[in-house]
Amino acid sequence: MGGGRVTVNSQLELRNLAKTFQNGGTVRRVLDNISLTVKKGQFVSIVGPSGSGKSTLFHVIGGLTEPTSGQVIMDGKDVTGTKGLISYMPQQPALLPWRTIEDNVILAREVAGLPRQESIEMAREWLGKVGLQGYEHAYPHVLSGGMQQRVAFLRALLSPQEYMCLDEPFGSLDALTRYDMQKWLTSIWETQKRSVLFVTHSIEEALFLSDTIYVFSNKPTNVLKKITVPFSRPRAEEVMEMPVFHELKREIYQLLKREQERSAESTGTKEEFSHAAPY
């Protein structure tokens, strides 16, 4: 796939993506007609039930797996199945233990063949900005979980690709560290305005970080609703106390709860809703 040219204003557009897996005689449809857009410099989040195919979607965007149907459009070009066009931050930091902190930060730039000295200077500048000055020549095992996540984020941030896909990067952190990382990510992102597609299970996190939220259904996954987040930038933590924040949180929660109940009814199983209640 790929090669066709279309005219769009979006930085990244997914058009009617579907993905079906076949194992022997069993056909399993994971993604079903998903369409979404991430405009240039926009922070877009995906919230959905556990196991709803969000990671599969990232694999399709990154060209690691071909969709059964549909297109991935970047900068007006059909790039479906093309690798190397996004930077990716997984749920775990995935730092290489034999590389120093600064060498982990510059890894994506190194793979892209960019000048090493320029990359080292950028890494040291940004490590200083995020409170990691003095750790340039240390190794990952000496860092806390939150510090390792900062390094992983810098690796994605300094990569040459414009598009960042962040797959639940704070999911393994304790509540306080996660909250600090959310505030930190907001402050850093607002200086760079990279185009971000962010997966999270936290409704609060999505509302605090995002310009737009796509609420996903259970499998086969499609878009239940697109929500425009009304809070201005730069964004402070006080937005979490605003009535509209709690109204949107309740709306998303109810969407996900109904979807979980619908899925349980269709499979004949009784499941507990996994998202924390917003009250």
Instruction: Answer yes or no: is 78 within a domain.
Output: yes
> How many structural domains does the chain have?
1
For residue 156, being part of any structural domain is answered with no
| Closest by Cα among 107, 38, 101, 102 to 75 | 38
Condensed to tens digits (0 to 9), the pLDDT of residues 175-200 reads 777 788 788 788 878 887 888 999 99
In a domain, 98, yes or no: no
Q: How confident is the model at residue 89 (pLDDT cuts 50, 70, 90)?
A: confident
Residue 219 forms part of a structural domain: yes
- In tens, the pLDDT along 3-47 reads 444 444 558 999 999 999 887 778 888 899 999 999 988 999 999
Say if 200 falls within a structural domain: yes
Query: Computed from CA positions of residues 17, 215, 190, 88, in that sequence, does the dihedral angle turn out positive or negative?
Result: negative
Kindly state whether residue 277 falls inside one of the protein's structural domains.
no
Residue 235 lies in a domain: yes
Whether 99 is covered by a domain: the verdict is no
CATH code, 75: 3.40.50.300
Q: Please give the pLDDT value at position 10.
A: 58
Inter-CA distances, 161 with 59, 128, 158, 229, 264, Å: 16, 22, 8, 26, 40
Distances from the Cα of 234 to the Cα of 169, 205, 239, 254, angstroms: 22, 16, 11, 28
Domain of 40, in residue numbers: 10-85+163-173+194-268
